[in-house]
Amino acid sequence: MDQYITGKTIKALRENNGMTQAEVAEKLNVSDKTISKWETSKGYPDISLLEPISELFGITITELLSGDIVKNINVSANMMRSKFYICPVCGNILHCMGEAVIHCHGVQLIPCQPEATDENHKMSIEKVEDEYYVHIEHEMKKDHYISFVAAVSDDRIQMVKLYPEGNAETRFQMRGVRKILFYCNRDGLYSMNIKK
C-alpha cells in the first residue's frame, strides 16, 4: 500500500454522512483544523484513530485504508455473479457473491475476470448420465497447472481443487449448471457457458 488513509477518502466519508469538519472533529476529539489537514493531504490521522474513524463512518478498517467502500445493495445472492479471488503468494482461492475487499498475505486481491477458452486452454464437456465430465487439455506440471474447476448455477457452486501432476478433469452434477470455470496458475480464469 503506497499511502495511509487519503484525504479524498476522509472527505468523501464525511460528505456522504452529511457531516461538517467541525462535527467530525468533535466526535474524534481533534480540532477542525486537523480534519482540514487530513482532507488536503497535509497530514494523516494517527494510527490510534483508525478504529474511531471507521466506527464513526460505519465501515471496516480495511475499507478505510483501501478507500474502497463496500455497499451491498442486493443482499440476495445469485451464484452466477460469483467472483473468484486468487492470492498470488499462496494460491489461496476465495469465492464471493458480491462486492468485497479481500486481502491475503497483505495483498489486496482483485476479482479475476474470466476469459473465453482459447487454443492453449481447451475444455471439453461431455454428458455422462446425470453428470458433466469436464476435461481440460492442459499440462499439469508443478509450475504450470489448472488450480481449480467450478460449475456454477443460479443457486449453487460446485468446486474441485486440482493439483500439479494430476489430471485436469473432474465431474459435476448437471442440475442447473450454466457455466464451467477453471483457473490456470499462469494465465488466469477461463469460462465456458453450458448450452442446453
Q: What is the pLDDT of residues 120-144, one digit of tens each?
A: 899 999 999 999 999 999 999 999 9
User: Are β-strands 115-116 and 188-193 bridged in parallel, bridged antiparallel, or unpaired?
Assistant: parallel
pLDDT digits (tens, 9 = 90+) for 4-40: 677 888 888 899 889 999 999 999 999 989 989 888 8
Radius of gyration of the chain (CA): 22
The C-alpha atoms of residue 20 and residue 22 are separated, in whole angstroms, by: 5
Work out the pLDDT band at 170, boundaries 50, 70, 90: very high
The C-alpha atoms of residue 150 and residue 90 are separated, in whole angstroms, by: 19
pLDDT above 60 (res 75): no
| pLDDT for residue 2 | 43
Residue 189 phi, psi dihedral angles, 5° rounding: -95, 135
Among 149, 143, 94, CA closest to 121: 149
The answer to whether 43 touches 10, Cβ cutoff 8 Å, is no
Q: Angle at which helices 32-39 and 7-16 pack, to 10 degrees?
A: 120
